[in-house]
Amino acid sequence: MTIQTVGIIGAGQMGNGIAHVFAASGHDVLLNDISEEALRAAVARIEKNTARQVAKGQLDEAARAAALSRIRATTELGELGGQDLVIEAATERETVKDRIFSGLAPSLAPHTILTSNTSSISITRLASRTDRPEKFMGFHFMNPVPLMQLVELIRGIATSDETYRTLAAVVAKLGKTAASAEDYPAFIVNRILIPMINEACYTLYEGVGNVASIDNAMKLGANHPMGPLELGDFIGLDTCLAIMNVLHDGLADTKYRPCPLLVKYVEAGWLGRKSGRGFYDYRGETPVPTR
C-alpha cells in the first residue's frame, strides 16, 4: 500500500513536528486538534522551523512553500477518517487515546492504517479496542521530530506483515531510520532512557549532587549532549512520570519505582520547559537550577 494522505491527531510538540516532516517529504497532511489556538500555533511553528531550514540551506523557498501548502488543519476528528494513514500524537494517557480511536471509528475508510506515537503504552491493548488490529502499529517518533533520525516501529500481536512493510517504507521515504521493537512497556528508547532520568532524580533527591553537578557530570563525564535533568525538562516531567508508571505497572519490578521528587515536581505543575519551571527555572534569560 502506498501512503499519500496522512492525518495527525494532536498539534502539540510531537504532532507539529510529525506534520512538518510528512509535508516536507511530499505527503498531504491533515492536522487535527480540539483547540483552534493549538492548530494556529502548530502551523506557525512549522512556518518558523521551515524558514530556519531555508536560512541554513537545508531547504529551498519553493520546497518550503510546497510543503506548507500540503498542510491543512481541522478541529473535526471525523475529517481524518478517509486518510491513508492516521497518527495519534495526543497526550500520553491511555484513556485519552482510547477515546480518540473510538471517536474516529465511524468515519474510517477500510484501507486506513491506524498508528499511535505513544512512547510507552501497549500497542496490542490499544489495537484490540479498534475494528482493525491488523492495521494498527506503534509509530514512535523522537523529539524534535525534524532533527531526530529514529522512528520506532512497534508491532502489536495482531499487526499484519503488510502493515509493517508499509510503515517501514514510509519511514524510508521520510529519510529516517526505523528500529523494530517488541510490544513491551516503553519499547527500546524509553525503556533505557527514562529510568536513567529517574535515577538522576533519585541522585538529586538523596543529596548525592545538585542539579548542576548531576547534569555536568553526565555531559562531561559520559559525553551526553544534555544532562539527564535538563533532558527530563525538555521531554516534560509529566511524560517522564507517565512512562515510569507504565514501566512500574507493566513489569512489576521495584527498580522502576518513580522517584518521589519527580512525583512532587509534577504535582506542583513544574513540568519542565513547557510550563516554565522544572529542574530548571526558564522564566529568565537563562535557565537557573531550582535545586
Residues noted as catalytic: 119, 140, 152, 190
SS (H, E, C) the chain: CCCCEEEEECCCHHHHHHHHHHHHCCCEEEEECCCHHHHHHHHHHHHHHHHHHHHCCCCCHHHHHHHHHCEEEECCHHHHHHCCEEEECCCCCHHHHHHHHHHHHHHCCCCCEEEECCCCCCHHHHHHCCCCHHHEEEEEECCCCCCCCEEEEEECCCCCHHHHHHHHHHHHHCCCEEEEECCCCCCCHHHHHHHHHHHHHHHHHCCCCCHHHHHHHHHHHCCCCCCHHHHHHHHCHHHHHHHHHHHHHHHCCHHHCCCHHHHHHHHCCCCEHHHCECCEECCCCCCEECC
**For the CA atoms of 29, 46, 230, 257, what is the dihedral angle to 10 degrees?**
-20
- Report CA torsion sign: 37, 39, 42, 46: negative
